[in-house]
Amino acid sequence: MDNNFLADILYPNIKTLPADIEARYPARNLQEGAKVTRFAPSPTGFLHIGNLYGAFTDERLAHTSGGVFYLRIEDTDAKRTVPNGIAIIIETLGKLGVKFDEGAVIDGDNGAYGPYRQSERAEIYQTYAKQLIREGKAYPCFCTEEELASIREQQESQKLTPGYYGEFAVWRDASLEQIQAKLAENAPFVLRFRSEGSIANKMKFRDEIKGEIDVTENDVDHVILKSDGIPTYHFAHAVDDHLMGTTHVIRDESWLSTLPFHIQLFKALGFKMPKYCHTAQVLKLDNGNKRKISKRKDPEAALTYYHSQGYPVAAVREYLMTLLNSNFEEWRLANPDAAIEDFKFTTKKMSVSGSLFDLDKLNDVSKNVISRMTANEVYDLTLAWAKENDADFASVLESDKDYAIRILSIGRGGKKPRKDIALWSEVKGYMSFFYDALFNREDSIPDKFNKEDICAVLANFKDTYNANADQSEWFNNVKAIAESNGFCPDMKAYKANPELYKGSVADVSMFLRIAVTGRMNSPDLYEVMQILGAERVLGRVAEIIG
Ligand code: GLU
């Protein structure tokens, strides 16, 4: 067979040679040990928590080594491509603090190793494919869907591994005449890789996360170019990661099954292999059993969930780190105030078997992260979230910034800050009783207390409230009110003889809290009243007295 002739009749329009392409992609000029990583999603409009897990690994590996992290768009499957898919990827990851140095941007490319959309690289793939034909390493296959289906059926009935290999690879040794006859009929063809592998051969392979793994050679003649000349994932992966200078391929472990084919492709193309990091899947507990997080069943599988719920970026990053590196939590305990970037991220500490994602844990992390923020930070981030998700609340916040900051300052800044906010979407509920427009009475004073006693206590408070009193004067007054209404001002004394009293000073405080905030629980009542101001405080007390 004249392979040069075959290459020319199959891809007559391709005039470039691999050397021409290589010249367009010079080696990157980076410091020793710098890692080049890429995030390579299909622009389907949906990003999964597993994508973030991978992208974060990419980002950390590149940025802790002085390397480059770039975005490549795998849009070879037009059916899975949505119009604003790239914008969604860039925005969603950007909101979670994952930024690219290079690659596809919304209206084009940023970088010297593009084009970064696979749909714009057909000539490049075909150039390498044509070279493989010249070298006898690839051949056309004219099998129709029906013929392939019948091969599959035959294999099923004989309990054989499915695939285009051995005796089933019917076009592998076709003659030039057979091929030319099909071309003359304009019959569509795919280009297949001519595998020289055998499943009898096993080898060891080093994965950067999984360590040494056993792999079996591939004997299937997989498709490398589809009938429209567009590459399959496998072929595009080899060509792109070679040309773009990727040093570390971080991808989901589901790709492990096709790794033997990728090893063959790199070899056949004469490319140096990148290092591979196959990440474990993100799991969750469902009725006590671990299962893969599912796009269909779990809202938290979608990355947009974190932004719309109002998780702080810092909390998501922090939690993701605990999932990614098993020693992160320990490091964080020892370095509570250090920047997350100071942590020495490593693939060696990544899970091999699966990372268990736990929303409760994320919420705890988030409460911690928010508790360490200043009131100003909480204000700014809540406002930014509200502007996108709750315009009414945004205007409430903006109507009086100082007032909002005073509210958000309660319990903040000390050694033991309050940890009651996990999400920006919870701030409205947390602050609502400070605003007449948002105030509603959620709790009422328990029925076991006599209405007249309650009114007497509240009336007494109304007559004696002094907004200028300091905290201890204020509390002394609450105690005095308790005493003069038959409630014990001293908790110890009350506990010793509860039957002697209508209740205790704690009950009196609770009447006041519920009257003023409409809730059984609130931050420090003295501070709350100071912020609300005498008029609002007394007005709300009066409402209960009736
Ligand atoms: N487009 C592939 C995916 O979304 C990329 C896998 C890879 O990173 O190589 O699964």
CATH at 156: 3.40.50.620
Q: Closest residue (by CA) to atom 7 of ligand 1?
A: 251
Residue 526, domain member (yes or no): yes
CB-ligand 1 contact for 274 (6 Å cutoff): no
Taking the C-alpha atoms of residue 264 and residue 220, their distance in angstroms, rounded to an integer, is: 11
Length of the chain: 546
Say yes or no: 129 and 239 in one domain: yes
Question: Which residues form the domain of 252?
Answer: 3-15+122-279
Whether ligand 1 lies within 6 angstroms of the CB of 248 is answered as no
Greatest distance between any 2 Cα atoms in the chain:
111
Residue 83: what pLDDT? 87
Q: Is the dihedral of CA 294, 296, 301, 303 positive or negative?
A: positive
* Alpha carbon distance 250, 234 (integer Å): 15
Residue minimizing CA distance to atom 4 of ligand 1: 41
* Identity of the amino acid at 267: K
How far is the centre of ligand 1, averaged over its atoms, from the C-alpha of 412 (Å)? 44
Neighbours of 405 (CB within 10 A): 15
Number of CB atoms found within 10 A of residue 431's CB: 20
Q: Are residues 457 and 404 in the same domain?
A: no
Q: Distance of alpha carbon 262 from its chain centroid, rounded?
A: 27
Amino acid present at 491: M
Rounded to whole angstroms, how far apart are CA atoms 362 and 107?
35
Which residue among 61, 73, 255, 277 has the greatest number of ligand 1 atoms within 8 angstroms of its CB, and so is best to mutate?
Answer: 255
Which residue in 195, 159, 181 sits closest to 9, CA to CA?
Answer: 181
Q: What is the pLDDT of residue 241?
A: 98
425 contacts 508 by C-beta, under 8 angstroms: no
251 lines ligand 1 (CB under 6 A): yes
Q: Residue 488: which H helix or E strand, with range?
A: strand 487-488
Domain count, the chain: 3
Residue 190 lies in a domain: yes
Torsion of CA 82, 87, 93, 98, to 10 degrees: 140
- Nearest Cα residue to atom 5 of ligand 1: 40
Ligand 1 pocket, 75 CB below 6 A?
no
Looking at the structure, tell me whether residues 427 and 460 fall in a common domain: no
Cα-flanking dihedrals φ and ψ of residue 69, to 5°? -120, 120
- Output the pLDDT for position 413: 87
Task: Report H helices in 64-165.
Answer: 85-95, 122-134, 145-157
Residue 321 lies in a domain: no
Q: For residues 515 and 543, give the distance between their C-alpha atoms in angstroms, rounded to a whole number.
A: 8
Report the C-alpha gap between 454 and 363 in whole angstroms: 38
3-state secondary structure of 281: coil
Residue corresponding to tokens 């492709």: 265
Residue type, 59: E
Query: Distance of CA 153 to CAs 156, 162, 163, 165, 190, Å?
Result: 5, 9, 11, 14, 21
Domain shared by 244 and 169, yes or no = yes
The answer to whether residues 259 and 222 touch, using CB atoms and an 8 Å cutoff, is no
The C-alpha atoms of residue 302 and residue 316 are separated, in whole angstroms, by 13
- Residues 465, 469, 470, 473: is their CA dihedral positive or negative? negative
Instruction: Identify whether residues 388 and 507 lie together within a single domain.
Output: no
531 domain-assigned: yes
Cβ 41 under 6 angstroms from ligand 1: yes
Among residues 218, 213, 209, the alpha carbon closest in space to that of 268 is found at: 218
| Ligand 1 centroid from CA 43, angstroms | 11
Beta carbon of 332 within 6 Å of any ligand 1 atom: no
My answer on whether 144 and 271 are in the same domain is yes
> 278: Cβ below 6 Å to ligand 1?
no
Please count the other Cβ atoms lying within 10 Å of the Cβ belonging to residue 3: 16
CA distance 157 to 400: 75
Kindly tell me the burial class for residue 365, based on how many C-beta atoms sit within 10 Å of its own C-beta (0-12, 13-18, 19 or more): buried
Same domain, 489 and 382: no
User: Same domain for 399 and 459?
Assistant: no
81 lines ligand 1 (CB under 6 A): no
d(CA 258, CA 236): 13
**Residue 58 CA, ligand 1 centroid: distance in Å:** 12
DSSP H/E element including 71? strand 68-71
Q: Nearest 5°: CA angle at 169, between 165 and 173?
A: 125
Cα of 280 from ligand 1 centre, angstroms: 14
User: Token pair of 215, please?
Assistant: 């792999």
Q: What is the pLDDT of residue 286?
A: 93
Within a domain: residue 524? Answer: yes
Q: Which atom of ligand 1 is nearest to the CA of 250?
A: 8
Alpha carbon distance 150, 148 (integer Å): 5
Residues of the chain with pLDDT under 70: none
Contacts of residue 443, defined as CB under 8 A and 6 or more positions apart, other chains included, come to: 514, 518, 519, 520
Same domain, 200 and 240: yes
144 and 239 assigned to the same domain: yes
CA distances from 431 to 401, 407, 519 (A): 13, 7, 12
Residue bearing the CA closest to ligand 1, atom 1 = 41
Q: Using CB atoms within 10 A of its CB, is residue 423 exposed (0-12), middle (13-18) or buried (19+)?
A: buried
Q: Given ligand 1 and candidates 36, 37, 57, 74, which is best to mutate, with the most ligand atoms within 8 Å of its CB?
A: 74
76: nearest Cα among 193, 263, 226 = 226
Which CATH number is 483's domain given? 1.10.10.350
| Phi and psi torsions of 41, nearest 5° | -85, 160
Q: Do 405 and 273 fall into the same domain? A: no
Q: Which of 238, 259, 279 is the last residue of a domain?
A: 279
DSSP, collapsed to helix, strand or coil, labels residue 393 as: helix
Q: Whose CA is nearest to atom 3 of ligand 1?
A: 41
pTM of the model: 0.89
- 460 Cβ inside 6 Å of ligand 1: no
- Residue 532 burial (CB count, 10 A): 23
Amino acid occupying residue 376: N
- Those residues whose C-beta lies under 8 Å from the C-beta of residue 252, and which sit 6 or more positions away, are 50, 54, 278, 279, 281
For residue 238, tell me if it sits in a domain: yes
- Integer angstrom CA distances of residue 254 from 102, 248, 266, 278: 26, 17, 19, 8
**Within a domain: residue 295?**
no
Instruction: Give yes or no: residues 126 and 233 share one domain.
Output: yes
CA of 492 to the centre of ligand 1 (A): 66
Rounded to whole angstroms, how far apart are CA atoms 316 and 426?
16
Other beta carbons within 10 Å of 483: 15
Please check whether residue 60 lies inside any domain of the structure. no
CA of 41 relative to ligand 1 center, distance in Å: 5
**In this structure, what are the phi and psi dihedrals at residue 113, rounded to the nearest 5 degrees?**
-115, 25
What is the per-residue DSSP string for 30-64?
--TT--EEEE----SS--BHHHHHHHHHHHHHHHT
Residue 193 Cα to ligand 1 midpoint, Å, equals 20
Answer whether 38 contacts ligand 1 (Cβ < 6 A).
no
Residue 51 CA: nearest ligand 1 atom is 4
Cβ pair 127, 12 in contact under 8 A: no
Q: Is 57 in the pocket of ligand 1 (CB under 6 A)?
A: no
Looking at residue 408, its pLDDT comes to: 97
Q: Atom 2 of ligand 1 has which residue's CA nearest to it?
A: 41
